[in-house]
A and B are shown apart, each in its own frame.
Chain A
Amino acid sequence: MVNVLVCIKRVPDSSGEVLLTDDAQSVDGRHVGFTISDHENCAVEQAIQLATATGGEATVATLGPAEAAEQLRGALALGCTAATHVVADSTGFGPADVARELAAVVRAHEAEGRSHDLILLGNDAADSGDFQVGIRLSYLLDRPVVTGIGTIEADGSAISATCDGPTGQEVYELPLPAVVTMLEGGVEPRYPTVSGRMKAKKIVIEEREPSAAPAGAKRIKLKVPPPVPSQVQVLGEGSSAADAVVDLFVSLGVTR
């Protein structure tokens, strides 16, 4: 039985135009909506698969504003069975602060007799992209950590985790308890079902206050680089442009 804790972060959807808040401290998501990163979607999927396969529990946790309950519900609808919400404005929390709060959640659950054998996080958050919360958390909990993992298999009290290394697929074997950060691509996130959404509504989300005041993210400000003026010349639309394209190739001297 492997009990998994998966950590997700509510972030503004950045697939379209990105606007900043007036204080230039964060991305303004009010008009574009919020989501979690693709890496975290895969971490949620992996957590549910492992818990289901071993008869364990998949718990989801976040540190974020009240509205982040939406992202927790999303993970519950997919098959996580418990959720913990550290309610705070995540803007003021640096990666060391977040790691400390997540460690506090794990310790509090342990004190209540709920252990999280495996903690899954994204490799990097979609907004702050710090690449480090998982590693910091591993030191706070004195657990081994591997990063950038695509797939995990559980085998009793150990896991084997695979990632795409510089020369090939690297395999790591870790005893539990452990921390793993995930990259998208290894597992295919599922879609929520109607019954999953109904179940999720009934689950009571555990709410907590931060265990300490945050030290901060050392952010001075954010800025959006100005767009470069476009000089593109459109050769045409659809397959009818093929002649113009080939004429261009000829004039560039790249045809054989």
Chain B
Amino acid sequence: MILVLIETEDGQVAEVSLESLTFARGLSAAGGGVPIDVVAVGALPDAARAQLSSYAVRDVYLADDDSFTAYSGGAWASAVQAAQAKTSAVVVMAAGTNRGCEVLAHVAARAGVAMAANVIGFQGLAPFVVERQVVGGQVIEEMVLDERPAVFTVAGHAVEASPAAAPGAAAMQALAVSLSPADLATRAVRTVPREGGEGSGLKSARVVVGAGRGAGGPDGFGPCLELAELLGGSLGVSRVVTSLGWRPHHEQVGQTGTRISPELYIPCGISGAIQHWAGCSSSKVIVAVNTDAEAPMVTKATYAVIGDMHEVVPAINERLKSR
């Protein structure tokens, strides 16, 4: 039995959770068709349920009473534990989001077993050996998960989400979870919604202009935004940019951001770390702008311009406007 914790986004199953379900299917097949069950917290719209069915999910355990309205890692972990007890799952997994890693670390700590973060594949079932990203993705670790349940998270965009050949029942099972005072004590007391919101169209954009640390500061994005506008595209940024608060998180491309697949991606001042690459590698053509000819983004790109983005991008914009 494999249990997958899923997350939802805009009424759909999050893409990274669909990737985890795809990973789970590979594991299930290797184990001779082990059933895959899902645990979810909060409301689960019909559209999301239909998705779960197309990913061959057997049962969906849903914890949606009021105590789950505000997020708490401990409370979600209690939901996962309750579902694990019901399904006798020997594998408990989730997508490698902040939440996925947090919740499963709680589950693993409570169960007294190991947790592997950011798994990208597995080598065998007996012993169960997984491969995971370490050292910022530059190194792969082979790790053995010899306890049960085996607990791990799947690195974002390490596998491509693809529905199963035959659908599953995705039968809804209400999950009663008794939460401890400790679970409830760490609930978020309030959320200040982000302005601008999601849906900048990044995911489906035909052209994406990327900007990274090379932008230099919150005021360094003007030329890239203009280029995006001139090409009818969207701006995408690296995690350094969102961590430093230069641009909002919904613009982030990568393993812990959006996965893009445009006709053309123009990353400017982005080094091309493996986690960024995970989100942009399915771009058809990449034109990198970077001062460093050895930057991974340059060596992996289709085309490159070596130079300062603060000179190169305005020059491109001028040339486009004078056509």
Contacts of A232 in B (CB 8 A): 288, 298-304
B138's contact among A14, A174, A221, A236, by CB below 8 Å, is which? A14
Contacts of B302 in A (CB 8 A): 231-233
Find out whether the CB atom of A220 lies under 8 angstroms from the CB atom of B307: no
Please tell me if B90 contacts chain A, counting CB pairs below 8 Å: no
Find out whether the CB atom of A245 lies under 8 angstroms from the CB atom of B305: yes
A232-B301, A237-B306 given as contacts; is B140 within 8 A of A222 (CB)? yes
Instruction: Count CB-based A-B contacts (< 8 Å).
Output: 221
Contacts of B102 in A (CB 8 A): 131, 135, 147-148
Q: From residue B205, how far is it (CB to closest CB) to chain A in Å?
A: 11
Find out whether the CB atom of B194 lies under 8 angstroms from the CB atom of A168: yes
Find out whether the CB atom of B191 lies under 8 angstroms from the CB atom of A130: no
Contacts of A223 in B (CB 8 A): 139-140, 142
Find out whether the CB atom of A18 lies under 8 angstroms from the CB atom of B287: no
Query: In the bound complex, how far is the Cα of B320 from the Cα of A216, in angstroms?
Result: 58
A243's contact among B141, B144, B319, by CB below 8 Å, is which? B319
Contacts of B306 in A (CB 8 A): 234, 236-238
Query: In the bound complex, how far is the Cα of B291 from the Cα of A12, in angstroms?
Result: 25
A252's contact among B143, B187, B189, B264, by CB below 8 Å, is which? B264
Query: In the bound complex, how far is the Cα of B272 from the Cα of A209, in angstroms?
Result: 41
Find out whether the CB atom of B307 lies under 8 angstroms from the CB atom of A96: no
Find out whether the CB atom of B109 lies under 8 angstroms from the CB atom of A230: no
A232-B304, A256-B231 given as contacts; is B135 within 8 A of A127 (CB)? yes
Find out whether the CB atom of A170 lies under 8 angstroms from the CB atom of B188: yes
Find out whether the CB atom of A144 lies under 8 angstroms from the CB atom of B182: yes
Q: Which residues 290-323 in B have Cβ within 8 Å of A in the complex?
A: 293, 298-308, 311-312, 314-316, 318-320, 323
Residues of B within 8 A of A (CB): 7, 9, 71, 73-74, 98-99, 101-102, 105-106, 108-110, 114-118, 129, 133-136, 138-146, 153, 182, 185-194, 206-207, 230-233, 242-245, 249, 263-264, 285, 287-288, 293, 298-308, 311-312, 314-316, 318-320, 323
Residues of A within 8 A of B (CB): 14, 18, 20, 27, 94-96, 123-124, 126-132, 135-136, 139, 144-148, 160, 164-175, 183-185, 217-225, 227-228, 230-243, 245-246, 248-249, 252-256
